[in-house]
Amino acid sequence: MKFTFNHFNFNVLDLEKSLNFYKEALGLKEIRRKEASDGSFILVFMGDGKTDFSLELTWMRDRTEAYDLGELEYHLAMRVDNYDEAFKKHKEMGCIEYVNESMGIYFITDPDGYWIEIIPTR
């Protein structure tokens, strides 16, 4: 038996804001969408166009309060081919949350407060 990664989920309050963020900050594109027939939820899968892994953004119609993200001891990690250019872009966007210079990485946050680690291609 063999398992492979498929996707990771973030629940979001403002789907359009999140879609725009992931497109602008990370270049992700919508690859598929599922909408409940009663309008109670929308699932949007975002992909990088290179791997089969996707990020699922889940919007729930009746959700109005921010999600409790706990202590944020989890995160999504993305590798980038031009670290300096990415850092500059994210700094201009105002979404850099933490820089770890000794490890050569940094973290950005999305509109809902989820952390995304940015790793240079080495």
Active site residues: 117
- Angle (CA) 18-24-121 rounded to 5° is 115
Amino acid at 76: L
Q: What are the DSSP E strand ranges found in the chain? A: 7-12, 29-35, 41-47, 54-60, 76-80, 96-100, 105-109, 115-120
What sign for the dihedral angle of Cα 16, 12, 79, 117?
positive
